Every structure is written in C-alpha cells, then in structure tokens.
A = this chain, B = another copy of it.
Amino acid sequence: MDHGSQILLSLFVVFVAAQVGAEIAQRLKLPGVVGEIAAGCVVGPSVLGWIAPSAPLEVLAEIGVVLLLFAVGLETRLSDMRRVGRSAFAVGVLGVIVPFVLGSLWAHGSGFDWARSLFVAAAFVATSAGITARVLQELGALQREEARVILGAAVIDDILAMLLLGIVTAVQGGEALRLSHLAIVLAEAVGFVVVIGYVGTRVMRRASRALNAPINPLSPLSIVLALCLGLAFAATEFGLAAIIGAFLAGMIASETPERETIEHQTRPLLVLLTPFFFVITGSKVELSQLANAEALLALAVVTAIAIVSKLIGGWLGALGLGTRGALIVGVGMIPRGEVGVVVASLGLAAGVFPPRTYALIVAMSLLTSIVAPPVLALLLRGKPRS
C-alpha cells in the first residue's frame, strides 16, 4: 500500500513539474520541451531529489515517447516521405559519419586507445528523434519539407547507429568483424522498415473498414494503439528503437479515413504521458559529476564537437533544400537525448570508459537536447510556413 502511495506521489510530481516547466519555458518564448527537461533536472536526484529513477517511471517514459512518435507518424504520409527520400538518406548517412569521425578523433586525443575511441564516438552518433519531433509538433511544423527530411533521416540514423554499435562492440571485444553477420543485421533492419512501411500502408488503405468491425465504438483507436505497441515491440526485436516502430505504426494509421479522429484522440494521451519522457530524461543529468572547472571545460568541448559535427553532417546532406532549410535540418538532428544516454550506459557497463566519461557523455546528450530546441524554434518561426 505504501509503495502504491509513493509511486502516486512520483507521478504527481513528474506531471506537475512538466506543466510548470513547460509554462515557464513558453512564457520565455522557448519550446515547452526545454522547460520539461529542465524541470526533470530540478526535481531529479541532482537537485531536489523528489523523484528517483524506477522501473515504472522508465516504462511510462517509454510509453510517452512511443505515443509521441506514433502521433508524429500520424501526420506523415508515406508518399511525402518518398519525395524527400534522397535528402533524408544523405542527411542520415552524413549525420552519422561526421560525428563519428570527429568523436573518435576527440576520444583518441583525450587518451583512449583506438578501439575504445570508436566506442565513445558511437555515443556521438545517434539523434534522438523524440525531442525534435516534439518541437516540430509544438510549432505545427510537421508538414514542412524540413520536418520530413529530419524524420526520414532519423530512421536511417537509427539503423546506422545500431550497425555502428554492433561494429564498435565487436572491435572493442577484439572479435573479428564478420561482414556477413553485419549484412544480415542491416538487411533485417532495412527489411523491417521497408516491409512495414510499404506493405503496412497498402494493407491499411484496403482494409481500413476492419477498424470499425468491433462492437466497441472507439475501436479504431484501440486497434491502431495495439498496432503501435506491437510495432514498437517488433522494432526492438529487429535491433531498432521502439519509436521507429511507433512512427511506422502512425504512418500506417494515417492512411485510414479515421486519421483525423485518431489524431484528435491521441492528443490527450500525449498530454498525460509524454511529460514522463522529458522529465525522466532531464532527471538523469548528474550535476555533481560536473561541479568543477575542468569537467565543465571538457563538457563544453564535447558538446561543441557533438553540435558542430551533427550540424555539418545534416547541413551537407540537406543542401538541396537551400541554405536555410539545410540549417533547420542540421539543427533538428542535434539532440542526442536518451539515445546518447543508452550508448553511454552500455559503455559504462562494459567497462569501456570510466564514470567521468559516462557523466560527460550523458551531460552532452542532454545539453544538445536543451540547446537545439530554442534554435530550431527561432529558425522555424523566422520563415513563413510552407
């Protein structure tokens, strides 16, 4: 009973902190998501200690970001994605290569051997689609060409990041790289995205009447939510992030005539659940590890490398959209968010690098997530919506 009471208090604290943080941020003309992450940092163990990491909160956070990417998918048509395919591919590939190269150079320069440096660099690579998606959604910019390039690139980015993590783990463990194995992993991931994306949308277009077959009047929502949870799980089985599956589920659901109803009904779900993702993300910042000048300097350098490398990669890949469009895409790819945190946790658990490097990478991941949204908002507001 006491445990139930404790978790209810945590839910209340997370939810209220998110609302207060978002409100303050928006009054300061910043995206609400920045306020939610900052609020998480304040109520988390680093400052007030009102919430502590726990499995239920992590699961709520995961459900929150899964639903967010599902909602983003709902506003994305496959046909729109295909139109930006080339740019998205270039942004995804260059946005992985440039940060990986610069990241490994920095790691080697700061004393790691090459095998370890490659692992550290892997944490520089993966973009967190959730944070940018939220900013795009807040500003009503999901229909812009830049938004589609960013979302497409995020899918490619995730596939490449997964491959890269497989490679650096093998190199780190001194294993021989088995190209045939990597080829299978790549083929599975690409196959999953292509088959679900193409076949799923086609099936949905023809079979959308089935959504209304059950007695339950809200059955279209129930069925697409089941699809969302199912594909989120399936994506993890193919080595991809759960949010990739949720995004594809949203894209499939966007092919139905009920699309607008579902979009409308998804909003309250986002109100309740996405705050958990952003507040929990923010609560992971370990300020104590960074409470000295040397650490702060190192953090500044690492964050600068992370920002500049992704910006260059994204910008080069998206030059087809014009200079400003390419800049928007580049900035949109900057946040590392929880993906960087996950890679850093793997490195720490495997003993590849010390806690200090871990704290550094986590702080960098979260800092990029706080820095990018306001800049992105500024760039998007500065230009009339297309």
Contacts and interface: CB of A to CB of B under 8 A. Distances in A.
Interface size class of A (residues with CB under 8 A): 35 or more
A199 interface: no
A9 interface: yes
A260 B103 CA distance: 53
Interface in A164-215: 214-215
A229 B55 contact: no
Contacts of A225: 15, 271-272
Nearest to A23: B214
Contacts of A219: 19
A236 B6 CA distance: 9
Nearest to A16: B226
Chain A contact residues: helix, strand, loop or mixed: helix
Q: Most chain-B CB neighbours within 10 Å: which of A27, A219, A230? A: A230
A59 B60 contact: yes
Contacts of A308: none
Interface in A46-80: 54-56, 58-60, 62-63, 66
Query: 5 tightest CB-CB pairs across the interface, nearest first?
Result: A56-B59, A5-B236, A8-B233, A265-B268, A12-B229
Interface of A: 1, 4-5, 7-9, 11-12, 15-16, 19, 22-23, 26-27, 32, 54-56, 58-60, 62-63, 66, 214-216, 218-219, 221-223, 225-226, 229-230, 232-233, 236-237, 242, 265-269, 271-272, 342
